Amino acid sequence: MSEKPQQNVGIRRLANALGWSMKGLTATFEHEEAFRQEVYLLILLAPLGFWLGNDGVERALLVAPLLIVLIVELINSAIESVVDRISDEKHKLSGRAKDQGSAAVLISLLLVVLCWGSVLAGRLST
Cα Rg of the chain (Å, integer): 19
φ, ψ dihedrals at 6, nearest 5°:
-85, 125
Are the C-beta atoms of 33 and 77 separated by less than 8 Å?
Answer: no
Active-site pick, 32, 38, 58, 73: 73
Give Cα separations from 67 to 7, 45, 51 (angstroms).
33, 11, 17
Catalytic residue status for 73: yes
Q: Which residues are catalytic?
A: 73
